[in-house]
Amino acid sequence: MLKLPRIVWDQDKLLHNAAYLDELCRKSEYPINWVPVTKVVSGDTEIIRTLINTGCRFLADSRIENLKSIKEISDSCQTMLLRLPGIHEAEDVVKYADISLVSEIETIKKLQDKACLLGVNHKIIVMIELGDLREGILAENLIKVGQFILKQSNIEWLGIGTNLTCYGGVIPSEEIMLELAAIKQQVERELNHSLEIISGGNSSILPLLMEQKIPKGINQIRLGESLFFGRESAYGKNIPGMYNDVFTLQAEVIEVKEKNSIPRGTLGMNAFGVKPVFIDRGIHKRAIVALGEQDVPVSDLTPLNRSIEIIGSSSDHLILDVTGTNTRVGDVLSFKVNYKSLLYAMTSKYVNKKQTSTEQLVGNNALTY
Ligand SMILES: *Cc1c(COP(=O)(O)O)cnc(C)c1O
């Protein structure tokens, strides 16, 4: 049964993007692995299954609930928790994450306690602050933290990592990556402990990867946006050869009428407490789509039909200018999503999720314009 609104995702395109990233890493001068980051798809079981079926043995997510879903699908898939663990969730972290990214001694202590209680080892990657000002310890404090970690019986210090272009917008450079590689050397020298993983960053590192400028020693990257959107996140450019339309949001038209573009009467606030501003388009053809702010941030959608323009929204209604189109009641309209609107759509219980493939869409005009 057709259930709308829905996110449809194209398995062929997703698999192509994954294979493309594999190939980019294979071509890199020094060995480097990429870990798929599934947070934007909110732990969607079909997508996780698809990635695992292609041979993926390692997935990362920022939510422990999503790591739990991954483990339920494949117990042997390694999981990495991207957001720093909360102290209150330490037990679940040890249960469902094989590796976590950490920056606080108190948290490491708690992970140690829980791992000890459960009789397991927990692996950690210590995040280093290299300019972006989100998570991470200052490099100058690493040796002290390292000494503490090495005393914990159930904590395995796997490596160090950094995350850029998330808060401060700092773009990864060869210099910053060399800094990270040098920190690894220093740890190995001063603490006589070898670090297996140096995790260099997220999709903002792709320009460096494509130019083969990731220095020796950086052997892991964590990729979400580039996998699902074929886009690097340093400059926001589409990556040639990758698909940026893996996902499409579809919803139904529930009213089409010629109406004025300016409301009549005394104007107060709209549904969100804002006094709206209107552009006078005269009498024009308007459509209402059964989709609203409760489903996705509507301003982060783009109608696939370029003649259609989004003019407003409330919690459950999306209002379009459909002048010059043959839009009718019952039509299913498609919208391109960006990272933010996909994140919301995948999280919403009102938005259905449907896997499809390129072939299935061909010849079904109602669904493709
Ligand atoms: C979200 C996240 C990533 C993936 O970022 P993309 O830009 O989607 O590739 C990597 N690492 C951490 C720590 C993250 O939070």
For the chain, 369 residues long, the average pLDDT of each consecutive 10-residue run is 94 96 95 97 96 94 98 97 98 98 98 98 98 94 98 98 92 95 97 98 96 96 98 96 97 97 86 86 95 96 97 96 97 97 97 79 39
Identify the H or E element spanning 56. none
pLDDT in tens, 8-22: 999 999 999 999 999
pLDDT of amino acid 270: 86
Verify whether ligand 1 is closer than 6 Å to residue 222 (CB atom): yes
Q: In sequence order, which residues have a C-beta less than 8 Å from that of residue 279 and are 6 or more positions away?
A: 261, 311
Domain with CATH 3.20.20.10 in the chain: 31-229
Gyration radius (Cα) of the chain, Å:
24
Q: Give the residue from 164, 162, 129, 125 showing the smallest Cα distance to 146.
A: 125
d(CA 125, CA 180): 13
Ligand 1 mutation pick, 21, 222, 246, max ligand atoms within 8 A of CB: 222
pLDDT of amino acid 358: 62
Interval between CA 66 and ligand 1 midpoint (Å): 15
The CATH-assigned architecture of domain 31-229 is Alpha-Beta Barrel (3.20)
Q: Give the residue from 81, 217, 241 showing the smallest Cα distance to 232.
A: 241
CB atoms inside a 10 Å sphere around CB 85: 24
Catalytic, out of 13, 27, 39, 184: 39
d(CA 271, CA 267): 12
Q: Are 179 and 130 in contact (CB under 8 A)?
A: yes
pLDDT in tens, 97-115: 999 999 999 999 999 999 9
d(CA 245, CA 229): 7
101 Cα nearest atom in ligand 1: 13
Catalytic residue check, 71: no
d(CA 119, CA 115): 6
Q: Residue type for 57, please?
A: R
Ligand 1 mutation pick, 163, 218, 228, max ligand atoms within 8 A of CB: 163
pLDDT of amino acid 83: 98
Interval between CA 32 and ligand 1 midpoint (Å): 17
Long-range pairs, 14-19, Cβ under 8 A, ≥24: 14/47, 14/50, 14/227, 14/228, 14/243, 14/246, 15/50, 15/54, 16/242, 16/243, 17/226, 17/227, 17/228, 17/230, 17/242, 17/243, 17/246, 18/51, 18/54, 18/56, 18/227
The DSSP bridge partners found for residue 354 are 8
pLDDT of amino acid 360: 53
3-state secondary structure 76-92: CCEEEECCCCCHHHHHH
pLDDT of amino acid 276: 82
Q: What are phi and psi of 6, to 5 degrees?
A: -150, 155
pLDDT of amino acid 264: 87
Ligand 1 mutation pick, 166, 209, 246, max ligand atoms within 8 A of CB: 166
Q: In sequence order, which residues have a C-beta less than 8 Å from that of residue 235 and are 6 or more positions away?
A: 171, 207
pLDDT of amino acid 359: 52
Interval between CA 202 and ligand 1 midpoint (Å): 5
For tokens 């190939």, the residue is: 23
Helix (H, G, I), strand (E, B) or coil at 320: strand
pLDDT of amino acid 367: 38
Q: Residue type for 248, please?
A: T
Verify whether ligand 1 is closer than 6 Å to residue 7 (CB atom): no
Domain with CATH 2.40.30 in the chain: 247-360
The CATH-assigned architecture of domain 247-360 is Beta Barrel (2.40)
d(CA 198, CA 314): 46
d(CA 237, CA 369): 24
Which runs of consecutive H residues, i.e. helices, occur in 119-205?
142-150, 174-191
* 207-to-72, 179, 188, 211 alpha-carbon distances in Å: 35, 18, 29, 6
